[in-house]
């Protein structure tokens, strides 16, 4: 296979952007595509796959290139010469012949092959930072080695059937007619798994809103909230709306979903996606401060808290995260998650339900958060069910969800404030008077199709 120098040179530049300038991989890839808009689909695939493979196996490839372990994480030690070495190791280990480029003149294939046979520590072989391996080992104990072994396996692409427009069997047939082969995933009634790599976002069926790209584990979260048509639902960390769309379908477009987030651009994307998917019951609202939440106290039958997390359950799709995360960041997230759980639980009406969810595998972000919440709110809240989706057992992304029920009987002070505030929430939603409400118009007009990340089917879930 003859590889054009221009593509490999761009791979080297993009890896420099990612590891030295600390750019996110998807942004670096997107930027490169903009600069090379004449590249065909084969070139783009070669480029993107190489970049992601190097990011995924960075530490291992660094070792295979004969570079000192530890330097892989030091920006001052990562220059073009080292990156060419890493790329060469990736190319050779994927069974391809090195091209005759000047930059590769000093690289000996037999040295790479010899280093491949040397036994190294699991964090080098699985390409993880030491601190992350230690933390996961400490928190997950005996379960960690099996999970660690799955985190670098390429993720399959799963589709979620949009049941507002079609059903799974018809979607499978339609995709088959369009030349795309899929298989139904039995335990998850909406899921199809792609049998080959395609740019799914370019498919006509995607543009028609017949499906969304969503990992199999993620497809289990919205049903876990037990919504019904006609309910008032709040998706409080809605992001670009992966779960909002699913909730809208489960509610058969009846009732109301308030999709909240702290980023307007994500909510704008959510609106576009609702337009494409035909979800009419979702409204967006930007969270601008604690008032946005207090105003909605006691409002919802169901609340989904798909909180910001480390994304350690979706490393296969977003390998970048392991190089960008830090212990400090995880600890900051844990504080934020508990704060969201504590404050936003007030949105649920007495007798209503809440789901706390993450795409993390760490108990400190998952069950320990729920236990901590229950330790102080146990008089009002009961844990109904937990979903612990272990990637080593399912073969899908790692997810966690806990469903909590708010008791009908509330502590006296809370009951008074909930009834006063829920009245004000109703009036806020009924009258479109405030500035916040102008932004809050029901989603109706489909806007042009949104641009999607190139790789990583469900990026918004791991944000
Ligand atoms: C895991 S992502 C949500 C993904 C989304 N539910 C989906 O399925 O596509 C977490 C989201 O929480 C948002 N977020 C962060 N802090 C927040 C806060 N204090 N209140 C509400 N949302 C917040 C982030 O902007 C991000 O979009």
Q: What's residue 410's pLDDT?
A: 66
What number is the average pLDDT over the span 404-411?
85
* Segment holding 399, helix H or strand E: strand 399-406
Q: What's residue 327's pLDDT?
A: 96
Q: What are the pLDDT digits (tens) for 279-293?
A: 999 999 999 989 999
CB atoms inside a 10 Å sphere around CB 203: 18
Of all protein residues, the one whose alpha carbon is nearest to atom 4 of ligand 1 is 461
- Binning pLDDT at 50, 70 and 90, where does residue 411 land? low
- Cα(314) to ligand 1 centroid in Å equals 15
Confirm if 341 and 369 have CB atoms less than 8 A apart.
yes
Confirm if 338 and 373 have CB atoms less than 8 A apart.
yes
- Cα(237) to ligand 1 centroid in Å equals 4
Q: What's residue 444's pLDDT?
A: 30
309 is catalytic: no
Q: Is 90 exceeded by the pLDDT of residue 82?
A: yes
The Cβ-side half-sphere exposure at 230, using a 13 Å CA radius, reads: 0
DSSP secondary structure, 278-307, as one string:
T--SEEEEE--SHHHHHTTTT-EEEEEEE-
- In the block, tokens 């930027």 appear at 31
Boundaries of every domain in the chain: 5-127, 158-214, 218-438
ipTM of this model?
0.99
| Dihedral (Cα; 34, 40, 46, 52), 10-degree rounding | 30
What number is the average pLDDT over the span 213-227?
98
* Segment holding 349, helix H or strand E: strand 348-358
Q: What are the pLDDT digits (tens) for 350-390?
A: 999 999 999 999 999 999 999 999 999 999 999 999 999 99
What number is the average pLDDT over the span 167-177?
98
Q: What's residue 451's pLDDT?
A: 28
Pairing of strands 232-235, 300-306: parallel
Separation CA 183–CA 222 (nearest Å): 22
- Binning pLDDT at 50, 70 and 90, where does residue 460 land? very low
Ligand 1 neighbourhood includes 240 CB (under 6 angstroms): yes
CB atoms inside a 10 Å sphere around CB 213: 20
What CATH class is the domain 218-438?
alpha beta
Q: Is 90 exceeded by the pLDDT of residue 83?
A: yes
For the CA of 311, the nearest atom of ligand 1: 1
Q: Is 50 exceeded by the pLDDT of residue 306?
A: yes
Ligand 1 neighbourhood includes 225 CB (under 6 angstroms): no
Q: What's residue 431's pLDDT?
A: 27
Mutational test site, ligand 1, from 243, 308, 453, max ligand atoms within 8 Å of CB: 308
Ligand 1 neighbourhood includes 266 CB (under 6 angstroms): yes
What number is the average pLDDT over the span 168-196?
96
Confirm if 234 and 296 have CB atoms less than 8 A apart.
yes
Q: What percent of the chain has pLDDT over 70?
A: 88
- Cα(153) to ligand 1 centroid in Å equals 26
- How many helices (H) does the chain have, and how many strands (E)? 21, 11
Q: What's residue 461's pLDDT?
A: 37
Separation CA 138–CA 127 (nearest Å): 18
- Cα(343) to ligand 1 centroid in Å equals 15
Residues in contact with 331: Cβ distance below 8 Å, sequence separation at least 6, in sequence order? none
What number is the average pLDDT over the span 78-86?
97
What number is the average pLDDT over the span 405-421?
61
Ligand 1 neighbourhood includes 294 CB (under 6 angstroms): no
Same fold for the pair 158-214 and 218-438 = no
Q: What are the pLDDT digits (tens) for 3-16?
A: 899 999 999 999 99
Nearest to 405 by CA among 342, 364, 348, 361: 348
Ligand 1 neighbourhood includes 237 CB (under 6 angstroms): yes
What number is the average pLDDT over the span 440-460?
31
SS3 8: helix
b/e sequence 223-251, b meaning 16+ C-beta within 10 Å:
ebbebeeebbbbbbbbbbbbbbbbbbbbb
What number is the average pLDDT over the span 14-32?
96
**In this structure, which CATH number among 3.30.70.1170, 3.30.565.10, 3.30.300.30, 3.40.50.10740 belongs to the domain 158-214?**
3.30.70.1170
Give the bridge partners for 213, in sequence order: 159
Of all protein residues, the one whose alpha carbon is nearest to atom 14 of ligand 1 is 237
Q: Is 70 exceeded by the pLDDT of residue 421?
A: no
Ligand 1 neighbourhood includes 357 CB (under 6 angstroms): no
Q: What's residue 197's pLDDT?
A: 82
Q: What's residue 261's pLDDT?
A: 98
Confirm if 352 and 302 have CB atoms less than 8 A apart.
yes
- Binning pLDDT at 50, 70 and 90, where does residue 1 land? low
Q: What are the pLDDT digits (tens) for 235-277?
A: 999 999 999 999 999 999 999 999 999 999 999 999 999 999 9
Q: Is 80 exceeded by the pLDDT of residue 429?
A: no
Ligand 1 neighbourhood includes 236 CB (under 6 angstroms): yes
- 261 known member of a binding site: yes
Structure token pair of residue 114: 């010899």
The CA R_g of the chain, rounded to the nearest whole Å, is 24
Of all protein residues, the one whose alpha carbon is nearest to atom 6 of ligand 1 is 238
Q: What's residue 85's pLDDT?
A: 97
Ligand 1 neighbourhood includes 308 CB (under 6 angstroms): yes
For the CA of 240, the nearest atom of ligand 1: 9
Q: What's residue 198's pLDDT?
A: 84
**Backbone CA torsion sign across 35, 36, 37, 38:** positive
Q: Is 90 exceeded by the pLDDT of residue 452?
A: no
Residues in contact with 431: Cβ distance below 8 Å, sequence separation at least 6, in sequence order? 437
- Cα(426) to ligand 1 centroid in Å equals 24
- Cβ-count burial of 77 within 10 angstroms (0-12 exposed, 13-18 middle, 19+ buried)? middle
Q: What's residue 438's pLDDT?
A: 28
Average pLDDT, the chain: 89
Separation CA 463–CA 461 (nearest Å): 6
Q: What are the pLDDT digits (tens) for 184-206?
A: 999 999 999 999 888 899 999 99
Q: What are the pLDDT digits (tens) for 313-346?
A: 999 999 999 999 999 999 999 999 999 999 999 9
Looking at 167-298, list the stretches that DSSP marks H as alpha helix, in order from N- to C-terminal side. Answer: 168-177, 204-207, 221-224, 242-250, 264-277, 290-294
Nearest to 309 by CA among 160, 460, 159: 460
Q: What's residue 453's pLDDT?
A: 30
Q: Is 70 exceeded by the pLDDT of residue 114?
A: yes
- Cα(66) to ligand 1 centroid in Å equals 41
Q: Is 60 exceeded by the pLDDT of residue 311?
A: yes
Q: Is 437 left (phi over 0), alpha (psi -120 to 50) or beta?
A: alpha
- 306 known member of a binding site: yes
Looking at 395-442, list the stretches that DSSP marks H as alpha helix, in order from N- to C-terminal side. Answer: 412-430, 435-438
Q: What are the pLDDT digits (tens) for 124-159?
A: 999 999 999 999 999 999 999 999 999 998 889 999
């Amino acid at each position: 296979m003859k590889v054009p120098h221009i593509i490999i040179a761009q791979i080297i530049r993009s890896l420099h952007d990612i590891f030295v300038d600390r750019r996110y991989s998807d942004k670096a890839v997107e930027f490169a595509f903009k600069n090379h808009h004449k590249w065909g689909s084969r070139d783009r695939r070669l480029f993107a796959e190489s970049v992601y493979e190097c990011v995924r196996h960075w530490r291992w490839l660094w070792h295979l290139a004969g570079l000192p372990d530890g330097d892989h994480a030091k920006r001052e030690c990562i220059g073009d010469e080292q990156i060419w070495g890493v790329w060469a190791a990736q190319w050779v280990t994927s069974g391809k012949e090195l091209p005759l480029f000047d930059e590769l003149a000093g690289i000996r294939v037999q040295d790479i092959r010899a280093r491949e046979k040397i036994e190294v520590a699991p964090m080098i072989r699985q390409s993880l930072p030491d601190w992350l391996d230690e933390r996961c080992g400490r928190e997950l104990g005996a379960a960690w080695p099996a999970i660690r072994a799955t985190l670098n396996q390429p993720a399959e692409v799963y589709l979620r059937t949009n049941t507002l427009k079609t059903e799974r069997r018809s979607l499978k047939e339609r995709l088959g007619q369009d030349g795309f082969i899929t298989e139904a995933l039995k335990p998850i009634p909406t899921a199809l798994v792609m049998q080959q790599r395609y740019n799914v976002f370019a498919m006509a069926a995607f543009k028609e809103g017949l499906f969304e790209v969503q990992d199999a584990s993620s497809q289990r979260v919205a049903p876990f909230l037990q919504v019904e048509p006609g309910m008032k639902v709040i998706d409080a960390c809605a992001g670009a709306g992966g779960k909002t769309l699913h909730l809208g379908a489960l509610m058969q477009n009846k009732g109301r979903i308030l999709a909240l987030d702290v980023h307007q651009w994500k909510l704008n994307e959510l609106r576009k996606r609702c337009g494409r998917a035909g979800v009419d019951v979702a409204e967006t609202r930007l969270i601008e401060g604690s008032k946005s939440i207090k105003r909605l106290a006691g409002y919802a039958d169901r609340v989904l808290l798909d909180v910001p997390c480390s994304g350690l359950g979706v490393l296969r799709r977003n390998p970048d995260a392991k190089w960008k995360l830090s212990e400090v960041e995880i600890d900051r997230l844990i504080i934020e998650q508990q704060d969201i759980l504590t404050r936003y639980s007030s949105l649920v009406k007495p007798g209503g339900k809440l789901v706390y969810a993450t795409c993390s595998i760490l108990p400190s972000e998952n069950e320990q958060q729920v236990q901590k919440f229950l330790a102080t709110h146990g008089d009002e809240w009961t844990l109904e069910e937990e979903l612990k989706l272990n990637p080593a057992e399912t073969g899908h992304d790692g997810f966690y969800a806990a469903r909590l029920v708010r008791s009908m009987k509330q502590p006296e002070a809370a009951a008074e404030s909930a009834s006063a505030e829920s009245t004000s929430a109703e009036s806020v939603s009924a009258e479109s008077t405030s500035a916040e409400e102008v932004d809050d118009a029901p989603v109706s007009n489909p806007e042009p199709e949104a641009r999607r990340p190139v790789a990583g089917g469900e990026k918004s879930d791991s944000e």
